[in-house]
Homo-oligomer: A and B are copies of this chain.
Amino acid sequence: MARPGGTSVTMRDIAASLGISVSAVSLALRERPGVGEELRRTVLETAKRLGYVPDRAAVTLRTGRSGVVGLLIRNLRNPFFLDVVEGFDFECARRGYQAMITSSRYEVPHEKELLEALTSRAIDGLAMAPIGSGRAAGAWARQTGKPAVVINCSRQVAGELSAVRVDAAAAVRTGTHHLLALGHRRIGLVTAPPRTSPDPERVTAFTELMTDHGLSPTVITTALSDVAAVDALTAELARPADQRVTAVLTNGDFIAHAAYQAARSVGLRVPRDLSVIGHDDLPTSALLDPPLTTFRVDRVAIGTAAASALIDRIEAPSHSRLRIVVPGEFVVRGSTAVPPVTE
């Protein structure tokens, strides 16, 4: 509203039209004591009649609270985050907040810029799926004195922050066990480069488990965009049959799809030549050819939990920080099978 054209109605207009003072209007509108019941009704009614819409910029400036919370996602292209965003947006709306959602696109400098932009917009709190370790979130919280919650980020970080995450390490263990039981020995784990990886725990869990079984773990490092992942996986799969992995674990169905593409591009078949395990259970995963074995997680719940935890802390700063682990469930479909017998 404001300036050009859109002749906005302000409290002053209401006050003038009723011959009372602005503060009376303010009090009446916000259901605060200090104003007669009858007058309040009149005010409410004329406000509606005049089409009054409060100017949040003014409120923000005055109160220091904007009613906006930020949601900074590291990669909005990953369908995983779709439902997270939806859940977050929904919960915010339910509790009277607006979400400001944006994507850092796995670019650290851009993440920094966005953080600053959000700060200058006086967000009341921040939820963030950080690019790397998540230190940025902690720094932001310290610097602004406002609550932050991290989503799917390394456990040790966080510090003072609330955190919502899926148990990625457990998922890796379950998947690895499944593959070992099928007879696989050369298993690959797809992960992001250390600096940008949100969950080093996956690698640790995987490495430990493989080592325990006397096997050497293959860690396939790639940027987590679909094209980069296809390239990295194609490179791995192009190796001789007795050296390349016979199964891969990915950190998301999104990347599992890339594994399908890579396999296809070098003429391998899933699951005959390559077993694939995803993580997320996207709506399409059951419809793929073959249906994807994956780890189902309630993505909407992640979003609502993050929003809820964040808003709790905004409204009661004493609220202790939360550590929420959203449960998941391993679902076995057609993309995993016994390894090929090429050796």
Contact = CB atoms under 8 A, between A and B. Distances in A.
A82 B77 contact: yes
A61 interface: yes
Interface in A81-95: 82-83, 85-86, 89-90, 93
A316 interface: no
B283 A64 contact: no
Contact of A3 (B56, B63, B99): B63
A93 B110 contact: yes
Interface residues of A, number: 63
B257 A65 contact: no
A12 interface: no
A232 interface: no
A6 B143 contact: yes
A63 B105 CA distance: 31
Given A105-B90, A122-B1, A287-B261, A57 B61 contact: yes
Interface of A: 1-6, 51, 53-58, 60-61, 63-66, 68, 76-77, 79, 82-83, 85-86, 89-90, 93, 98-103, 105, 110, 113-114, 116-117, 119-122, 143-146, 226, 257, 260-261, 282-284, 287-291, 317
